[in-house]
Structure 1
Amino acid sequence: MSVIQLVLPDFLLIGLGWLLFHKLRFSGDFFRGAEQLVYFVLFPALLFHSITQTPLSLSGTYTLLQATLAVMGFGVAMAWLAVPVLKPSPITHASVAQCGYRFNTYIGLSLAGGLAGSEGQTIMAVLVGFAVPISNIAAVHALARQNGGKVFREIVRNPFIIATLLALLCNIFGVPIPRAIDATLGRLGACAIAIGLMCVGATLSLSGGQGGVKLMSWMIALRLMITPIFAIFIGWALGLTLVERQILLLFGALPTASSAHVLAARMGGNGSLVAVTMSIGTLLSALTIPFWLMVGPLH
């Protein structure tokens, strides 16, 4: 399968979501309900099902944890480097910085499955599971410092983290999953990516981004062009397998999470600027992801 054929279906689903909301007048309540369904039910089911499909070892899982910590740590550090360089206002930076290291899990798991089948999707699910608490701690802490939010409560209640931890325990310790439950989780997970990608499309917006062009450019370049280079280096340095290096590169090349603007708005940040940053990054990733998949690890 060519890279374009691999990437195109996901971006067509994103386009469909944009069309449904902006042109066919599907209501905001419809998409908010769909996002809640994906966030609390469908995507946790997909994470759990994906992680339990391919056997993992403690040593292999630990190496993937090291890779995740390295890539996420690099992204957070580079996002904060914008403070002394660009000198943005604290609340603007706290809002937009998350666009430099958060990632779109829907696109990631969909493309990982197409790129390397169940093994690729399992590796991506593990990376995502490890990275979710890191990205949430960094994003929530930055905004909480400005507005007094509670970081710990946001983390421990995250359904992605709960699903990942349970799945890793079941996988590593060989806990059997009843066939009926496994099949149910698989069917729920099959719905997650399509609905999630359409919800991403519904959130795309290119209005309201005045006053932060340099900061937006910094975070988009970091997310789409600089982090993938670092991911290639880390994959080589840790001696990952070919599939692991390919999935780590894909993880590093993902656009930012579509929920980033929701978090910023909910915690008193600049939600509109984050929405524009996320939207531009998602659109540009239709070009940058195929580029990285073509020039990435081949052997």
Structure 2
Amino acid sequence: MKKRQLGNSSLQVSEIGLGCMSLGKDAAHAETIISAALEEGINYFDTADLYDFGVNEKIVGQALKHVRDEVIIATKVGNRWNEAQDNVKWDASAAYIKSAVKDSLNRLGTDYIDFYQLHGGMIEDNIEESISAFEELKKEGLIRYYGISSIRPNVIKKYAADSAIQAVMMQYSLLDRRPEEWQHLLEENQISIIARGPVAKGLLSKKMLTKASNNVKEKGYLDYSYEELAALLPTIQETLPRPLTETALQYVLANPSVATVVAGASSVEQLRENCQAVRGLPLTEEELAALKKLTKENVYTSHRE
């Protein structure tokens, strides 16, 4: 598995990472998927304290304990469960970040987190305070690097200008090309994109519209109506006669700002299919141009200055 540098850090991450949210609460089942990921050469594992009330972190930490020094564990902070665990509130305060990291470390069973991400972010946050908290955690050796998981343009611009973030996690796919607007800004600041949602809820897989939810059938997906998707997906498949998942993942990886594509997997079979797609031939300039002509160059319309 090829690796890419994360930002300007010392971390070399596999071109595909495992999004752990979809692993579920069955530890034995989750460990089979994580073991397969390790066999495939994946070294980047992405979890969050939000997932299953912290259970996900426990499962990931236990499954990776025997290879801790060989892998990169990323987790997130900012979404705070109430005591009843039936509601989440946003908390990007320094006090909460410095408290939550200790809970994550305990659940993960590790002394340090390789990559700690703010799980969202709003322009109304005291961003300077949040940055200060991450910098303190770095100095204490509790985290190695930090970043944000945010789609908000004004937040991204603020962190790019005022912090030492190494990456921004953003939803990015052929059907959601909004991160391309910020590619040059991130490149100028040596900040990587961590791409999530590369197969657009399964629409960009061999199952295509059979994976469409009732909501997609009624309202479409982002800037695409259901009727547009019904016409577009087969056209993409016909234009590039290779597995659609391979086309989808290779499109995202063709962006030089992307360090890793984070894909979830609920089965070993799905994981191996994703890894095979990443090992496929890179798209040619002609193929990239054809895909960009077929799809929409959409942009974020809110959270802008």
Q: TM-score range by the shorter chain?
A: under 0.3
TM-score, scaled to structure 1: 0.26
TM-score, scaled to structure 2: 0.25
Instruction: Return the structure number with greater helix share.
Output: 1
